[in-house]
Structure formats: structure tokens, C-alpha cells
């Protein structure tokens, strides 16, 4: 229970906990930490292995699969509208798939606050989506479905290349800003009677632009991407997006998650370098894990980049009751 509370607190912006008190750890965990402090030769071997991998520069398997799924989902919306096959109607904010209503959770909240009453069809669609993304892990929506996430990843690639050449530099913000944005947009919807956030949501803007055609709102998306390329790496997803916070809360108790295995980890840190939200991987830092198998927190997007990057297989997908999936 305390682990889930800590996970949600970090999702809302609290800094991760530091090293656990040795007395709070099990004898097995304490012994494992001790062995790792003494086994320096293994760490050197891993560094050699990582250097070899870097020279090969092979694409990440899960990343390619995830991009394919994300493109396929959004393309299905486009083809359904353009070909008028009426299999998938609407956009990511609200849709209907072969008769089943789907409504984005954050958009639904905005609408209900703005109209100040519960819309029945919206409630049905919300319940469907809530269960689906609870089952699949909450912020899995971000990395496997959201079109802005894909553009954000491409912008991140450019940012890292420019950063190597000293042309760009990452400027982190306080992660609590996202919680404040969530509350501000909720209050604005309640007070003004308008879904203010939907007018600037890059997820909604891109989804509608893909399906119905481009509009001036794409200028705002371009500004966000330029900001991320030159000033702050993945700024929108890390520090601003209320949708990510909403789905993170939904997935806090999800049975599907990434799990960390202390015994096989040698703390080379490759996973944290590629992670969109590296604070969720605080447990992989030497001496931080408080268990042999630790579930990664609610802010994790289940993108799989850490799973691909880990040279010792210490991070795996896990579905409660089914064991390791990858």
C-alpha cells in the first residue's frame, strides 16, 4: 500500500525517495547490495558490452513495434473517415468503435465540469476507456497511442543531436507544474463553461488534423516541438500534459507494468538515459532498491525503452498473475 502511495506522490511531482534504511530491508536485499558493491569486474564487462552495442547502433525492437502500433491506431481513424467505412468514428478525444463508445478520460472530465452535469453517453464511453487503460497500464496511452508522443520522440532525437554539438541544452522544470496545470484547466472548465484545455491539447489537435485536415492550431504544436528541440527535452509530456497525469492515476493499480529485478542489475544507468520520466527508475540507482523485484511507478508510460536498453535484462514487462511477458 505504501508503495502505491509513493508512486502516486511521485506522479504528482514529489521527488523520489533516497536510499532506504538498511534495517528496513530484507536480509536477501541487504546481501545482494553488498555483493554488488564488491563485484566491480562485472560492471567493467557490462561497460564493454554497452560500447559494443553502441557501435552496432541497432534499432530498438520495442520502439519500432510501438511506433507501428501508434501509427496503425491513428491511421485507422483516418481511413475510417476518408473511406466512410464507419468502423471507427470520431477522434481520440471521443469515438465509437463498431458501436462501442470511447471517450478520453481527461476530455470527459473537462466536458462534465464545463456543462456541470453528467452526460450519459459520455459516462458509458468513459467507463469503457477507464477499464481498458487501467488494464493496459494508464500512461500506456501516451507512448502507444498519442500522436504527439511520436512527434515528441522525433523532436527528442533532434534535441539530443543538437545537445551533443552544444547547440541546444536541456532546461528541466519542476515536475509539480503538471499537477498545477491539471487543476488550473479543471477550474477553467468549471468557471468558464468551456473546455479550455481542448483548444490547446496537442493530442486532440493532431488527431483532428490527421482525420479532418490541418488547421491553424498546428502552429501551436510546431511551437511546442521547437521549444522541446532547442530548450527543454520532452517538456510537454514531462511537465505540462494533464492527459498524462489523468492516465497515470488510472494506471496506478494496473496489473500491467514494468518490473525491476535487483539481482541481475549492475546499475550501469542506460535505462535512465533513455527514459521519458527517469524519476520512475530511481530504484535502479545503486543502493536504492528496497526489494528484489520492484514495480516501476505510475508515471511510467510502458514504452519499453528501458527494457530494450538494459544489457542485463533487469527490466521486464509483467502482467500480474501471468509473470514476465518480455
Q: Which residue has the cell 566491480?
A: 40
Rounded CA gap, 299 and 226, in Å? 24
Bridge-based pairing state of the strands 315-319 and 293-295: unpaired
Q: Is 323 helix (H, G, I), strand (E, B) or coil?
A: strand
CB 267, CB 281: distance < 8 Å? no
| Positive/negative CA dihedral, 87, 89, 93, 99 | negative
Closest C-alpha among 298, 44, 304, 54 to residue 178: 298
Residue 42 and residue 151: Cα distance in Å, rounded? 38
pLDDT 10s digit of each residue in the chain, 326 long? 667 888 999 999 999 888 888 777 888 888 877 777 766 666 666 665 655 555 455 457 899 999 999 999 999 999 999 888 877 888 898 888 877 788 899 999 999 999 888 877 778 889 989 999 999 998 999 999 999 999 999 999 999 999 999 999 999 999 999 999 999 999 999 999 999 999 999 999 999 999 999 999 999 999 999 999 999 999 999 999 999 999 999 999 999 999 999 988 888 788 999 999 999 999 999 888 888 999 999 999 999 999 999 888 899 999 987 765 65
Are 223 and 175 part of one and the same domain?
yes
Q: Could you tell me if residue 91 is inside a domain?
A: yes
Residues 33 and 119 in one domain: no
Residues 6+ apart with CB under 8 A from 113: 186, 189, 190
* 84 and 208 together in one domain: yes
Q: Tell me: do 7 and 134 sit in the same domain.
A: no
Judgement on whether residues 139 and 243 belong to the same structural domain of the protein: yes
Same domain, 9 and 85: no
The reply to whether 164 and 75 lie within a common domain is yes
In a domain, 314, yes or no: yes
How are beta strands 256-261 and 293-295 bridged, if at all? Answer: antiparallel
**Which residues make beta-bridge pairs with 124?**
none
Q: Are residues 153 and 211 in the same domain?
A: yes
Please, are residues 93 and 197 in contact by the beta-carbon 8 Å criterion? Answer: no
Predicted local distance difference test score (pLDDT) of residue 47? 60
Domains in the chain, number: 2
Contacting residues for 160 by C-beta, under 8 A, at least 6 apart: 233
- Of the residues 249, 276, 309, which one is the last residue of a structural domain? 249
C-alpha dihedral (213, 218, 219, 223), degrees to nearest 10: -160
Helices (H), the chain: 2-11, 27-38, 40-56, 61-82, 105-115, 120-136, 140-144, 147-164, 177-192, 196-200, 202-212, 218-230, 235, 242-250, 270-274, 305-309
* Residue where one domain finishes, among candidates 226, 249, 272: 249
Q: Looking at the structure, tell me whether residues 275 and 224 fall in a common domain.
A: no
25: containing domain = 2-38+255-324
* CA 117 – CA 32 distance, rounded (Å): 55
Question: Cell digits for 174?
Answer: 519542476
**Residues 67 and 206 both lie in one domain:** yes
Q: Residue 294 has which C-alpha cell?
A: 520492484
Residue 231 CA to residue 159 CA, distance in Å, equals: 8
Amino acid at each position: 500500500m505504501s508503495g502505491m502511495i509513493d508512486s502516486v506522490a511521485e506522479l504528482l511531482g514529489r521527488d523520489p525517495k533516497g536510499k532506504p534504511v538498511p534495517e528496513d530491508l530484507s536480509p536477501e536485499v541487504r546481501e545482494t547490495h553488498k555483493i554488488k558493491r564488491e563485484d566491480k569486474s562485472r560492471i567493467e564487462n557490462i561497460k564493454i558490452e554497452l560500447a559494443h552495442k553502441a557501435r552496432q547502433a541497432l534499432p530498438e525492437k520495442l520502439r519500432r513495434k510501438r511506433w507501428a502500433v501508434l501509427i496503425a491506431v491513428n491511421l485507422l481513424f483516418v481511413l475510417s473517415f476518408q473511406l466512410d467505412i464507419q468502423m471507427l468514428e470520431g477522434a481520440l478525444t471521443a469515438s465509437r468503435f463498431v458501436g462501442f463508445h470511447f471517450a478520453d478520460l481527461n476530455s470527459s472530465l473537462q466536458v462534465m465540469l464545463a456543462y456541470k452535469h453528467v452526460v450519459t453517453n459520455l459516462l458509458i464511453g468513459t467507463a469503457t476507456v477507464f477499464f481498458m487503460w487501467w488494464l493496459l497500464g494508464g500512461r500506456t496511452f501516451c507512448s502507444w497511442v498519442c500522436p504527439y508522443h511520436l512527434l515528441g520522440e522525433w523532436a527528442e532525437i533532434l534535441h539530443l543531436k543538437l545537445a551533443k554539438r552544444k547547440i541546444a541544452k536541456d532546461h528541466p522544470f519542476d515536475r509539480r507544474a503538471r499537477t498545477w496545470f491539471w487543476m488550473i484547466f479543471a477550474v477553467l472548465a468549471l468557471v468558464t463553461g468551456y473546455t479550455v484545455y481542448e483548444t490547446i491539447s496537442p493530442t486532440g489537435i493532431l488527431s483532428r488534423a490527421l482525420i479532418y485536415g490541418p488547421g491553424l492550431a498546428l502552429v501551436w504544436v510546431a511551437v511546442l516541438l521547437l521549444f522541446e528541440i532547442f530548450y527543454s527535452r520532452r517538456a510537454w509530456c514531462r511537465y505540462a500534459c494533464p492527459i498524462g497525469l489523468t492516465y497515470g492515476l488510472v494506471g496506478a493499480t494496473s496489473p500491467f507494468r514494468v518490473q525491476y529485478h535487483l539481482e541481475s542489475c549492475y546499475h550501469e544507468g542506460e535505462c535512465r538515459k533513455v527514459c521519458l520520466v527517469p524519476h520512475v527508475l530511481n530504484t535502479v540507482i545503486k543502493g536504492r532498491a528496497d526489494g528484489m523485484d520492484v514495480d516501476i511507478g505510475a508515471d511510467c508510460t510502458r514504452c519499453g525503452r528501458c527494457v530494450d536498453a538494459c544489457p542485463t535484462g533487469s527490466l521486464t514487462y509483467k502482467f500480474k498473475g501471468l509473470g514476465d511477458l518480455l
